[in-house]
Amino acid sequence: MNSVNSELGNKNLSNCVRNSRSVGYSEYHPQWVTKYRFKTLGKESHFVGCESAIRSVAERHGILIKELGVMPDHVYVVAVLPPEMSVSTAIGLLKGGSSYEMFRKHPNFRMRYWKGHFWGRGYFYRSVSNITEDIVRRYVREDNTQRQRQLFN
């Protein structure tokens, strides 16, 4: 096994999610903001309620929350998604479910968020991995070179 293969090797497969047709690991870092970037989550009861709501929604839908940071006007998450779930679906579930819970627990939010939208429309996300892009690119390049040598010899 060459050095690149060992960097991508079996030690990383132990964390992977397996089903009948695939093996992989869908870990992402999404972020989203409150509507109008109001600093609503600065109050401790709102902060605790939001964190609880996000964790509850995640558990219900099979999303594993590894880290959760609730700031006064935005949320950071590190989450592992089920293999069949897209990032947009996961974020939609987390935002929608937590918004529903927040309005239920704090009815006075309707006065500030009068159209019933607690979170802003957009979000940011990126994948998280324990290997770098350089390692993956080198793996693809070197593995492809070895196959080409085999085909032409």
Residues 138 and 4: beta-carbon distance below 8 Å: yes
Query: pTM for the full model?
Result: 0.82
The residues with which 69 forms a beta bridge, in sequence order, are 76
Domain co-membership, 106 together with 145: no
Q: What is the mean pLDDT of residues 105-125?
A: 93
Residues 83 and 22: beta-carbon distance below 8 Å: yes
Domain co-membership, 12 together with 51: no
Q: pLDDT value at position 115? A: 86
Of the candidates 40, 37, 58, 60, which has an alpha carbon nearest to the alpha carbon of residue 103?
A: 40
Domain co-membership, 139 together with 113: no
Domain co-membership, 144 together with 69: no
Residue 73 belongs to a domain with what CATH number? Answer: 3.30.70.1290
Q: What is the mean pLDDT of residues 99-128?
A: 94
Number of residues that make up the chain? 153
Could you count the other beta carbons within 10 Å of the beta carbon of residue 3? Answer: 11
Domain co-membership, 12 together with 37: no
Q: What is the mean pLDDT of residues 15-43?
A: 91
Q: Total structural domains in the chain?
A: 2
Domain co-membership, 36 together with 67: yes
Domain co-membership, 12 together with 31: no
Domain co-membership, 105 together with 41: yes
Domain co-membership, 32 together with 13: no
Of the listed ranges 26-30, 83-87, 118-122, 130-134, the least confidently predicted one is: 130-134
Domain co-membership, 86 together with 142: no
Q: pLDDT value at position 11? A: 47
Q: What is the mean pLDDT of residues 45-72?
A: 97
- Residue numbers of the domain that contains 145: 1-19+130-153
